[in-house]
Amino acid sequence: MHPYIKANKDRFLNELIELLKIPSISADSAYAGDVKRAADMVALRLKEAGIPTVEVVETPGHPVVFGEKIIDPNLPTVMVYGHYDVQPPDPVELWDSPPFEPVIKKTDIHPDGAIFARGACDDKGQMYMHVKALELLNNNNELPCNVKLMIEGEEEVGSANLAWFLENHREKLDCDIILISDTGIIDNETPSICVGLRGLSYVEVEVTGPNRDLHSGLYGGAAPNPLNLLSKMVASLQDEKGRITVKGFYDDVEVLSTEMREELGRAPFDEEAFKKSIGINGVIGEAEYSVPERMSIRPTLDVNGMWGGYTGEGAKTVIPSKAYAKISMRLVPFQNPDKITDLFVKHFESIAPEGVTVKVTPHHGGVPYVAPTDTPAYQAASDAMESAYGKKPVPVRSGGSIPIVALFEEKLGAKSILMGFGLNSDAIHSPNEHYGLFNYFIGIETIAKFYPNFVERHQSNAQ
Ligand code: BES
Ligand code: MN
Ligand code: MN
């Protein structure tokens, strides 16, 4: 471990604990004050870390923390992106300790301990590694280039106002590369760098039958039941081979070369351990693709929630008037979220059986992202990881989404390096989210190594 990290270990951890105590839940307006408090704390810590210009920029939603240190306009600029907002902790009763009262516990996967709290891994813990890496570089007079930071408070609700921020503050966002830690590695012995994110199309459907809830005895048998019919419609969205039946859905899906599939297939995967880790006795999906491929380079369609009728205690005999479902589709290159949403709406309307009407409301979407590996920035990240872990990282495409990354490329013309350190078992978005202390400290070290590597490779590439 770097001597500076070793000497400041406890403080680095305690500062993160303080940040994790703030319930910065962006989805719930009742927490808007806490979201603001988290932004203020991040801003203060950035100043303390030696970033001279730091602003908490108000937006129509939650604020963006923007910081910069320009040491020489002729040097390259790294922009750090992260988010200080978190997912709601629900269901709170499934947490072993309260989500905003961080505790450190040892686990089988994290024998050195992990910090348990909402946001520990996604993304406060990972974002804060950057603040500490910059403190390290500043304090040792080793910051080799310009740095900007854009830490937002609305990632978990679709980053709508960050898009607004990109357009309204375009002039101060010029950079050569964006550096992000909001993804994962394979495991603590197998470093990896994320080279792809899936896109997203998210819709809500409403199926309406009779004009009011009906007695299921008096009307049952002839009155169309929207819950029965919605279930059928949803079930028909995938065929028995695991293919999505929405017409045109696969038209733009990227066909990967055998070489590419081989390269990505080098990441180790243990199917039995995978099944055990989530408590299932079998996997589903397209037989012609490996299980990791089904979760990364192939698109999906999943119901996230479905409701209607009577769901309270006991039994109530009723044919509901309405039934609802929230449906997410994860997209891969070169699918376009708007086009997919349109195809979904058309398809869903076309399969509505007689007796019901359907309404589809689109929610947020996101364009998929692929990062090249033959760039100075990727090589710099790869070298940094190799020197921290003693092993060369493997490139991996992730199944998750960070929609703003594709927008960075579109609006700023900048590529992103997705150098995250979380583990899939860290339970992000779930009860008992945690982040390994090993991951936290090695992350700080790796990020600090990235900067000189990047500047060196960037300069020699420019010559
Ligand atoms: N950090 C995650 C995304 C992620 C996690 C990508 C692990 C790759 C590996 C991010 O905070 C997230 O949760 N994104 C959402 C999308 C967003 C629009 C709510 C997602 O993927 O569901
Ligand atoms: Mn995240
Ligand atoms: Mn998240």
Summarize pLDDT for 140-176 with one digit per residue, the tens: 999 999 999 999 999 999 998 998 899 999 999 999 9
How far is residue 19's CA from residue 84's CA, in Å, rounded to a whole number? Answer: 9
Q: Is the CB of 326 under 6 A from ligand 1?
A: no
- Domain shared by 422 and 361, yes or no: no
> Which sign does the torsion angle of CA 41, 65, 137, 421 carry?
positive
Q: Is the CB of 402 under 6 A from ligand 1?
A: yes
pLDDT above 90 coverage of the chain, percent = 98
User: What is the tens place of the pLDDT at every residue in 32-47?
Assistant: 999 999 999 999 999 9
Q: Among residues 316, 332, 365, which one ends one of the domains?
A: 365
What pLDDT does 364 receive? 86
Q: How far is the CA of 25 from the centre of ligand 1 (A)?
A: 15
The parts of the chain modelled with pLDDT lower than 50 are none
What pLDDT does 268 receive? 93
Q: Which amino acid residue places its CA nearest to atom 10 of ligand 1? A: 402
- Domain shared by 125 and 250, yes or no: no
Report if residue 231 sits inside a domain: yes
Q: Is the CB of 383 under 6 A from ligand 1?
A: no
| 117, 16 contact by CB (below 8 A) | no
- Domain shared by 93 and 112, yes or no: yes
- Domain shared by 97 and 184, yes or no: yes
Report if residue 289 sits inside a domain: no
Report if residue 123 sits inside a domain: yes
What pLDDT does 462 receive? 80
Report if residue 407 sits inside a domain: yes
| Number of separate domains in the chain | 2
What pLDDT does 463 receive? 73
- Domain shared by 350 and 400, yes or no: no
What pLDDT does 401 receive? 97
- Domain shared by 90 and 229, yes or no: no
Report if residue 416 sits inside a domain: yes
Q: What global pTM score does this model have?
A: 0.95
Q: Is the CB of 403 under 6 A from ligand 1?
A: yes
- Domain shared by 305 and 156, yes or no: no
- Domain shared by 225 and 250, yes or no: yes
CATH of the domain at 93: 3.40.630.10
Domain that holds residue 126: 3-197+368-462
Report if residue 390 sits inside a domain: yes
- Locate the ligand 1 atom nearest the alpha carbon of residue 122 and give its number: 1
Report if residue 436 sits inside a domain: yes
- Domain shared by 355 and 425, yes or no: no
Q: Is the CB of 400 under 6 A from ligand 1?
A: yes
- Domain shared by 122 and 256, yes or no: no
Report if residue 137 sits inside a domain: yes
Q: Among residues 349, 365, 381, which one ends one of the domains?
A: 365
CATH of the domain at 240: 3.30.70.360
What pLDDT does 93 receive? 97
- Domain shared by 11 and 150, yes or no: yes
What pLDDT does 217 receive? 98
- Domain shared by 253 and 302, yes or no: yes
Q: Among residues 333, 350, 365, which one ends one of the domains?
A: 365
